[in-house]
Amino acid sequence: MNLRGSRLSQEAGEIVKKLTSILGEKYVTASLPDLIAYSCDISPEPRVLPDVVVRPKTTEEVAEILKEANKTKKPVVPRGAGTCPAGFIKYQKNAIVVDMTRMDEIIDINEKEMTVTVECGVTWGKLYYELRKKGWRVGSYGPGSALSATVGGALSHHSLAYGCAKYGSVSENVTSLEVVLPTGAIINTGSGAYPHAKKAQRYGIGPDLTGLFLGEGGAFGIKTKATMMIHPFPEAVRFLCYEAENLKQLLDATYEVSKTRIPSDILGFNPWLNNALGEAGFKSLLGKDYTLHVVIEAPNDKVADAQAEYVDNAAKKTGVKEVGAEWLKFFYYPRFAEWWPRTSPKGKRWYAWCNKIPIYDYLRTHELIEELFNKYKDECEKYQLEPYDVMYFVVDWNTVDALLLVYAWDDVPGAREVVRKMWREGFERFVAEGGIHYWLGSAVGELVARNWASEYRETLRAIKKVLDPNGILIPGMLLLT
């Protein structure tokens, strides 16, 4: 147990001793330098130090941690890689942070049943490369930060990026979960609820409790294992890129391509991103206003060529023109998730919004973005902030997830405060217009909760009360406690 620089209360000190008896000294820390390392994530939210950080290795250890926390009603906050841009650190005050990254085993790649079972601290990057060795993949590959993001963290947000046009969010991969409830009880969902059944089916045994623990920000339980469907890794891939004359034409092409239900990935780029990539060496994008990028994955070249021709015809009937696809080839293969910069071309840190809306509603979202950026134009100039309407992903064929960025120097006094103000106002505007935000966290989750219908809110609060009678697991998440 590391207590270097610790300023624990007597009560917290007793809890640390008990946690050490569960995990051993090596995996419990209340050292100030360690707590500082855990006091932030990639959001612009202020740092919050927890009381103690623990790193369990087994489901049983997670259960014992929660049982111990219940004795004194000590808050508990599970943590993956800390790559959520919406801010979870607010909930860490006086809390036990449970770092899940030691639980990173790929337990079983079952090729006969076409499932993979993993511990939820494993990264999507590790999972991708281990599956690929055997010729398999999950449908939706994880978020943009997949090389470092954990499976459990992504499942808590319905994360999306790679493969999401065809396969939806990462939650759509899941057939069964192992979850430690806030009381310390351990349950399995899906067909895993049958002790004698395999974990190959999510539905058919009664209510879908798997869904209760997906996209809830971790408020209902700590996910320790997940079983997901796998698919054969594509033997043939085709890349299609098009230039549109304006945003309406880009959305028309996006709609027609989505209707084919063929591509695994569909992305729309706005002018700034096209020019940034063009200046980085992808010359076919230089000077372009709007571009559409399409990935088609198939079992062989014959199928890939036929599908590409069909999608190409669908796109071109909207009048878009084909352009070179070198960027798409670089981004998707063979470098999975390696090209996803967290800084601007100048080295500034980025802060983001992700807002899901029906395809043609992006026209209104684009207007909202321009209104927001114009409102903060003077402050952006004063504090050297660079806001951009960047791109969107197609999700589940019928919606797009709009990605907006603000680049900022962290060492410019006052810059982060302006970013936070602008960031939160953006969330409020998008939700007020019916947008469904990607992440939760403190910034988005509380806003979402305030916009629920009252009956929906009270139903979730009743569920939370049953599962977490002492209110210890991420208190305040989604305003459920």
Beta strands in 51-100 (DSSP E): 52-54, 76-79, 96-99
In the three-class reduction of DSSP (H, G, I as helix; E, B as strand; rest coil), residue 221 is classed as coil
Longest CA–CA separation in the chain, Å: 71
Give the DSSP letter of residue 407.
E
Mean pLDDT across the stretch 7-13?
68
Instruction: Return the higher-pLDDT residue of 448 and 155.
Output: 155
**Can you give the length of the chain in residues?**
481
| Interval 243-301: pLDDT, tens | 999 999 999 999 999 999 999 999 999 998 999 889 989 999 999 999 999 999 999 99
Give the type of residue at 222.
Answer: I
> What CA–CA distance (Å, rounded) separates 356 from 164?
12
Could you list the beta-strand ranges (E) of 69-188: 76-79, 96-99, 106-110, 115-119, 136-138, 174-180, 186-188
- Overall average pLDDT of the 82-91 stretch: 81
Q: What is the pTM of this model?
A: 0.93
Q: Which of 325, 137, 320 is nearest to 228 (CA)?
A: 137
pLDDT, tens only, 109-138: 999 999 999 999 999 999 999 999 999 999
In this prediction, residue 435 carries a pLDDT of 87
What is the spatial distance between Cα 361 and Cα 245, in angstroms, rounded to a whole number? 19
User: Residue written as tokens 């855990």?
Assistant: 38
> Among candidates 415, 414, 364, which has minimal Cα distance to 387?
415
Tokens at residue 452, please? 């629920």
pLDDT digits (tens, 9 = 90+) for 15-26: 899 999 999 999
In whole angstroms, what is the distance from residue 327 CA to residue 282 CA?
6
For the segment 351-368, the average pLDDT, to the nearest whole number, is 90
Range in 114-123, 172-181, 362-371, 439-448 with the lowest mean pLDDT: 439-448
Local structure of residue 95 (DSSP, 8 states): P
pLDDT tens string 306-331: 999 999 999 999 999 999 998 888 87
Q: Is the pLDDT of residue 84 over 90?
A: no
Residue 95 clears pLDDT 80, i.e. is over it: yes
pLDDT digits (tens, 9 = 90+) for 25-37: 999 999 999 999 9
Alpha-carbon Rg for the chain in angstroms: 23
* Residue-range domains of the chain with CATH: 106-232 (3.30.465.10), 236-332 (3.30.70.3450), 349-447 (3.30.70)
Cα 76 from Cα 141, distance rounded (Å)? 28
Give the pLDDT of residue 442. Answer: 80
**What percent of the chain stands above pLDDT 90?**
69
Percent of the chain with pLDDT over 70: 95
- Give SS3 for 62: helix
- Average pLDDT of the chain to the nearest whole number: 91
pLDDT at 74 over 80: yes
pLDDT of 347 over the 70 cut = yes
Residues 233 and 427: their CA atoms lie apart, in Å, by: 37
Residues 6+ apart with CB under 8 A from 20: 1, 28
Where do the H-state alpha helices sit in 317-361? 326-332
Contact (CB, 8 A) for 455 and 435: no
pLDDT in tens, 208-254: 999 999 999 999 999 999 999 999 999 999 999 999 999 999 999 99
Distance CA 43, CA 45 (A): 5
Mean pLDDT on 125-153: 91
Return contacts of 423-432, CB within 8 angstroms, 24+ apart: 423/44, 423/351, 423/353, 425/372, 426/353, 426/369, 426/372, 427/353, 429/368, 429/371, 429/372, 430/353, 430/355, 430/365, 430/368
Peptide bond connecting 334 to the previous residue in cis, omega within 30 degrees of 0: yes
Which tops the pLDDT comparison, 43 or 193?
193
For residue 5, pLDDT over 60 is answered with no
Phi-psi category of residue 396: left, alpha or beta, with phi > 0 → left and psi -120 to 50 → alpha = left
Helix (H, G, I), strand (E, B) or coil at 404: strand
Residue 345 has pLDDT above 70, yes or no: no
